[in-house]
Amino acid sequence: MTMFSACLVLALAASSCTAVPHFLDVPIDNVKKMVLEYDPVRRVHNLGHNERVKPVFPLESFAIRQFHDSIKKAEIAAAAGPIPDVAAKLGLTDLVDAVVAAGLKDTLDSAGPFTVFGPDNDAFANLPEWAKEMLKNVTILTDILTYHVLSGKVESKSLANELVVDTVEGKKLRINLYTVDGKQVATAQCAPIDLTRVDQAASNGVIHVLKDVMYPPPGNLVVLLSKIKVFSTLVEAAQVAGLVDTLAGPGPFTLFAPTNNAFAKLPPGTIEKLLANPTELAKILKYHVLSGTYCSAGLSSGNVETVEGQDVKITVSADGVVVNESKVIAADASVTNGVVHAIDTVLLPPGYVLS
Ligand SMILES: *[C@@H]1O[C@H](CO)[C@@H](O)[C@H](O)[C@H]1NC(C)=O
Ligand SMILES: CC(=O)N[C@H]1CO[C@H](CO)[C@@H](O)[C@@H]1O
C-alpha cells in the first residue's frame, strides 16, 4: 500500500511509473479512489504534494479522455461493419433477410450514413398473416423497410418528444418520449423503441431496435377515420360540429374514437338530437381529444385534460386501457397528426346531461 501510493504520487508528478498504467487506460474514478485510499497519516504529510498534482491530472485527462473516447468509439463502429452486419449481430435476422429480399443490402452496405429503426424478430413474427403475405411483394416490402430508415446519423440523444423526421421512403415518422410510472418510454409511430438497444454503432450509421414493425401512416386523423366504415357516424358528427379542419390540421392530437356501435349504445333518438345541435356535439367530440400524441405505450393511469377543457380519467391495467367507462378496443393507429384509439362507448363531459 505504501509502495503503491508512493508509486502513484510519482506517476502523477512525473508521469513515469511502470506500476501505474498510462492514465488513458485508467478510468478517472479509479484514480480518485486510489488517492482517497491514502494512509491518513501519509496524506497529511503529502498534502502539499497532492494539491499540486490533483488539478493537473483531471484537467489534462478530460480533454484527452474525450478525444480518446471518440477515437475508440469510431474504431469500434468501423470494426462493427455496415448496418446489415450489426443487425445480424444483434439477432435481427428477419430484418436482414427482408433487407436482402428487397434488394436493399447494397444500399445499407454503402457509405450512408443511415439511421435504422430495426424491428426485432418478435416484431416480424407478430405481424398478422395478411401483412406477412403482403410483404412477399418486393415493392411493398421495400416501401415498409425504407420507412424504417433515415438518411443521416440520428443518435438517441437527439430524439425528442413529438419529433417528426423524414424517412428514406418519403413519409415522415414521429418520435414520442414519455415517462410512465417513473420509467422512460420511447416510441416511433407508437412502436416501442428498445431503450436497452439504441445507438448500436455501425461503420455507416446507427441502429435503434424496435419492438414492432412500423407502417407508413395513411394520412391525418380524418383520412384514417373516413377510410374505416365503423367510424362513419363519428365522421358525420365531426362534419356537423365543424371540427373536420381542426382534426385534419397539424395537431398533434390523440383521438379516442367511438365506433358506430358506441354511438348506437346512446339512448334512442340521441344521435339525431345531437346532429341537430352542432355546439353541443362539438363539446362532446372535443371531450374525446387530447392535445399531443399519446400512444398506448405512453399512457398511464390518471386524469388528463381534454381539448374540451375538462379531464378524462385514464385507467391502464393488464386488461388494457379504459377512458372513464369507455374501453379502448383497438389502440395505436398512428396518423400524420397524432394517434387514434377506438373506444366502445361515447364519452360524455362531466355535468353533461343527455336531453
Ligand atoms: C406489388 O405491389 C405493388 C404496389 O401495391 C403493385 O403495384 C404490384 O402489382 C404488386 N405486385 C404483385 C406481383 O402482386
Ligand atoms: C362518466 C365518468 O366517469 N366521467 C368522469 C370521467 O373522468 C373525469 C376525470 O376524472 C371525471 O370528472 C368524470 O366524472
User: Residues 295-330: pLDDT tens digits?
Assistant: 999 999 999 999 999 999 999 999 999 999 999 999
Ligand 2 atom 13 nearest Cα: 350
When computed from its CA atoms, the radius of gyration of the chain, rounded to whole angstroms, is: 28
Longest C-alpha distance within the chain, in Å?
Answer: 93
Ligand 2: which of 256, 287, 311, 348 to mutate, most ligand atoms within 8 Å of CB?
A: 311
Q: Could you tell me if 329 and 225 lie in one domain?
A: yes
Q: How far is the CA of 146 from the centre of ligand 1 (A)?
A: 17
Least confident of 49-58, 102-111, 200-209: 49-58
Q: Could you tell me if 240 and 128 lie in one domain?
A: no
Return the axis-axis angle of helices 93-101 and 138-146, rounded to nearest 10°. Answer: 120
Which of 76, 98, 117 is the C-terminal boundary of a domain? Answer: 76
Q: How far is the CA of 348 from the centre of ligand 2 (A)?
A: 8
Q: How far is the CA of 101 from the centre of ligand 1 (A)?
A: 15
Q: Could you tell me if 265 and 226 lie in one domain?
A: yes
Q: Is 110 in the pocket of ligand 1 (CB under 6 A)?
A: no
Written as nine digits, the cell of 188 is: 416511433
Report the distance separating Cα 190 and Cα 137, nearest Å.
25
Taking only the tens place, the pLDDT of each residue in 232-287 is: 999 999 999 999 999 999 999 999 999 999 999 999 999 999 999 999 999 999 99
Q: How many domains does the chain have?
A: 3
Range of the domain at 12: 3-76
Ligand 1 atom 6 nearest Cα: 139
Q: Could you tell me if 206 and 257 lie in one domain?
A: no
Q: How far is the CA of 303 from the centre of ligand 2 (A)?
A: 9
Q: Could you tell me if 326 and 244 lie in one domain?
A: yes
Q: What is the pLDDT of residue 43?
A: 58
Mean pLDDT for all residues in the chain = 87
Q: What is the pLDDT of residue 39?
A: 59
CA of 137, closest atom in ligand 1: 1
Higher pLDDT, 14 or 122: 122
Q: Could you tell me if 87 and 104 lie in one domain?
A: yes
Taking only the tens place, the pLDDT of each residue in 22-58 is: 444 444 444 444 444 555 666 554 544 444 444 455 6
Ligand 1 atom 12 nearest Cα: 137
Q: What is the pLDDT of residue 285?
A: 97
Q: What is the pLDDT of residue 18?
A: 40
Q: What percent of the chain has pLDDT over 70?
A: 83
The pTM of the full predicted model, rounded to 2 decimals, is: 0.82
Cα angle value 221/223/224 (rounded, 5°): 65
Q: Could you tell me if 17 and 117 lie in one domain?
A: no
